[in-house]
Structure 1
Amino acid sequence: MSVHPVLRRGLLGLLALVLLLALATAAVWAWQLAELPLTEPGAAAGADAAERGAYLARVGHCEGCHTARGGAPYAGGRAVATPFGPVYASNLTPDAPTGLGRWTLAQFRRALLQGRSADGRLLSPAFPYTHTTRLALADVDALYVHLRGVAPVHLANRPHGLPFPLGTQAAIAWWRALYFRPGALPAETGRGAAWERGRYLAEGAGHCGACHRARSGLGGSADTLGLAGGPMPDGRWWAPPLGPVAPDRVAERVRWLQTGHGPRGNALGPMAEVVMGSTQHWSLADLQALASYLQSLPPAPPAPAVAWTADAAVQEAGAGLYRERCADCHGTQGQGRGAAYPPLRGSRVVTATNALNLLRVLDDGGFAPVTAGHPRPYGMPPQGLSDNEAAVLMSWLRSRWGHAAGPVAAAQVRRWRE
């Protein structure tokens, strides 16, 4: 039986397309598997290597991602939520069968600087090698020394929960071709040592951009996007922009990173974990350097004022919910109460263009981190509001005390909660 000419041409075109895609994938894969030259491993251990490595691990919050809830430090198993499915953090302890016990220094360097496993496989980009590639070789070596000294834990790594073909080496190779450019940060002259250190911390060791940089639908980002904020990978929180603040608030920003507490609000949600596990342990010089770098970034565009007035029903219901749920702690005019309860008047959580974080605080509660500088923070319990109640209270808050942030619909609350 003969094949119709049109169908034959279609099949030949499809075959040619598949062949072209296969050849392109093979070329991209080969490119990504190509080794970049690394300095030959020398003596990684110095007199202060372990101590410096422990500090760098704090800066990078390595333990935070590589420790499961209730699990042993660095033993892995924690799910890192992504829009595509969970990626499980690996075991970084020196256990030989399941951790890094058999890894050489050269293999460890390759993982952090090139995003490759000990056996050469391309690592999932949930591991922030787009940032660790910026690390100085001496800092990579110090991290290696530190991790060799933690308690070994025998815990096999869990397979990731990514649907086919997203977790395949071919898919990762394509992603890397689009978004991964290994190597140190480009040199900039005339900036000063503090700015250079701050950039190294933000873009490399502390990888602020892993959360505070906008991402494409494929989960990649570009340096040109800056630290303009965006949805967290799990979609539950919104990371705010990290642009400059008023000069008289720079010291306040440093103090907030030390304590998780400030006159304009507390660190909550994922940032509370970062402050408790990481930034409170940074040196003052490093925090000031980071603040210096953030001051040089482009300012975030001002949130558009929304000209609206809550109708009488929202005003009445919102005021009632506020009296019942909020006023005792946050004050009748949203002014807060001393160091215990932050103000809601002027709060960025309340007035942000995206109200997702406000909903998360209402749903999950507000729990600031325990830090040396603020060892006994007050917390807020979850409020248990219905979709409509949450929308009414949020809309009321976003229209009071000079706020002009716009209403929140019950349907939007429902979508965020799904």
Structure 2
Amino acid sequence: MSRIALVFVCFGLCGLGASAAFAQSVTKPEKIEKAPAKTTAAPSTDPDVLKRGEYLARAGDCIACHTAPGGKEFGGGLAMETPFGTLFTPNISSSHQYGIGAWTSDEFYRMLHTGKSRDGQLLYPAMPFGTYTKVTRADSDAIFAFLKSTPDVRQPSRPHEMRFPYNQRSLLLGWRTLYFKEGEYKPDPTMSVEWNRGAYLVEGLGHCTLCHTSINALGGSSASKAFEGGLIPMQNWYAPSLTSNKEAGLGDWSVEDIDALLQTGVSNRGAVYGPMAQVVHDSLQYLTDDDIRAMSVYLKSLPSRAGSPPEPTAAAAEQKTTLFPLGKKIYEAQCAICHGAEGKGKLPHFPPLANNQSIQMTSAVNPIRMVLNGGYAPGTAKNPMPYGMPPFGQNLSDVEVAAVVTYIRTAWGNHGMPVTPQEANALRAAPLN
């Protein structure tokens, strides 16, 4: 967010992340339909429109996906690993030869709205057209005008490296039938203007559902499970529930705490790391206070739909009994200086671990990864010098990592399940972002 996850990989990432990729083909696959006629409408050059377009592009986190590490903004080339091969994000700079300089505003809107490129090709869902379809024509035109004003990046888009049969775009017709519903966002007349603005940002440009909804074997997600959380494929981070579920969602959070987390990366309830840190850094910190508040109001209104956490088993109880004493010893030696002997933390820089939902979630992926890899909350305008957590993976064995994570998940009244050394070992080689 970000954001950087999706049908083939959901990014954002906290997520957000985050995760727009037009995924144009550089070969010449079979055309799905005849290319629509071009129009001659020129993009606006009005400074106010360009400024709004830049703001909206930030809200959509376009830079994160369309800028490779060390590359020029919007020049594309970011590799997106998927279970089916590698996608490379395209150049969306103003370049007429390599970017979208030759596109029209109609073609750009049609791409966002329908998930089809200007020549009619179906786009891979790594470009989140399933949510971008909600973007209004006025906002689409502003984003397009801004992109047309960016520097010309003379860099060709790199061919995708998808394995057969996933390189056959005609297969996307079935996926679209199951998981894509075209249409702009329609305000709910029974809700406030603020709530509707939040819904538009969260469900549209923010594409939050792509990471915070579990992805099934077909690479899609069920609307009935929207915002209930899920593992981000390939990245091995868990995007928590954004519903009012109190086990792992926002049920106990205040709107002010959600505001702080989205805009600064830290709050009284915790901090963001992994893909969501990138979403906050590249996107959310630039949004206005009013838009952040609107998003928080909408998120806070989401109902709880997730079930109860699993009941402890005899094997889990034995695992806790075995690891808890060792975990307590490691915690007191390595962690208590920052997080406190009773896990209460030291706000705002060191988040509490006691009664921390992200620690107690059914999935233990995130606390394991934090112990192994450490990390920093994002540097933002309102928190320019964030405190970080050092990595312990080089000093702790798999058993020791499992022990300390088991301890923080079960101490101080926490109700998480213990973890195994095998789970810790499986995440040692996981990508850092």
What interval of TM-score do these two structures reach, taking the shorter chain for normalisation? 0.7 to 0.9
1:56 is displaced (CA, Å) by 0.3
Alignment of 1:15-414 (within 5 A): 33=33, 41=41, 44-46=44-46, 48-244=48-244, 245=250, 249-299=254-304, 300-304=306-310, 306=312, 308=317, 313-384=322-393, 385-414=396-425
> How many angstroms apart in 1 are the aligned matches of 2:385 and 2:226?
35
Q: Which is greater in Rg? A: 1
1:121 aligned counterpart, secondary structure: coil
Match of 1:231, SS state, is strand
Query: Structure 1: how far apart are the matches of 2:178 and 2:35?
Result: 18
Structure-1-length-normalised TM-score: 0.86
Q: Is contact 2:323–2:402 with CA below 8 Å preserved after alignment?
A: no
Paired position in structure 2 for 1:3: none
8 A contact 1:211–1:233 mirrored in 2: no
**8 A Cα contact 1:306 1:404, kept in partner:** no
Q: Do the aligned partners of 2:39 and 2:104 also contact (CA within 8 Å) in 1?
A: no
Task: Decide which structure has greater helix share.
Answer: 1
Q: Which moved more, 1:54-63 or 1:303-312?
A: 303-312
Question: 1:136 Cα shift?
Answer: 0.2
Provide the alpha-carbon RMSD of the alignment: 2.5
Q: Which moves more between the two structures, 352-361 or 408-417?
A: 408-417
Q: Which runs of 5+ in 1 are unaligned?
A: 1-28
Cα distance in structure 2, aligned partners of 1:213 and 1:147 = 29
Q: How much does 1:367 deviate?
A: 0.8
Task: Give the aligned residue type for 1:73.
Answer: E
| Seq. identity, % | 37
Q: CA deviation at 1:357?
A: 0.8
CA displacement, residues 37-86 of structure 1 (integer Å, 9 cap, x when unaligned)? 99995764545210110000110111011111111111111122333232
Q: 2:277, 2:377 within 8 Å by CA — same for their partners in 1?
A: yes
Change (3 A) 1:282 1:169: same
- Determine the C-alpha separation between the residues in 2 that align with 1:154 and 1:43: 21
Give the partner amino acid of 1:254. D
Residues 38 and 114 of structure 1, relative CA distance in 2, 3 Å threshold: farther
Give the match's secondary structure for 1:81. strand
1:242-261 alpha-carbon deviations (Å, 9 max, x no partner):
11345871111112211111
Q: Using a 3 Å threshold, how does the CA distance of structure 1 residues 375 and 148 change in structure 2: closer, same or farther? A: same
Q: In the alignment, is the contact (CA less than 8 A) between 1:226 and 1:297 conserved in 2?
A: no
> Alignment partner of 1:86: what SS?
strand
The answer as to whether partners of 1:350 and 1:398 remain within 8 angstroms in 2 is: yes
Counterpart CA distance in 1 for 2:421 and 2:177 is 41
Give TM-score, length-normalised by structure 2: 0.83
Cα contact 1:276–1:370 (8 A) shared by 2: yes
Structure 1 residues 44, 294: closer, same or farther in 2, change over 3 A?
Answer: same
TM-superposed CA distance for 1:346, in Å, is 1.7
The Cα offsets for residues 139-193 of structure 1, whole Å up to 9 and x where unpaired, read as 0000001001111111111222321111211122222122112111345331121
- Residue-by-residue CA offset, 1:275-331 (whole Å, 9 max, x unaligned): 111111111111111122112212244534537376554233112221232122212
Q: Say if 1:251 and 1:301 are closer, same or farther in 2 by CA, change over 3 A.
A: farther
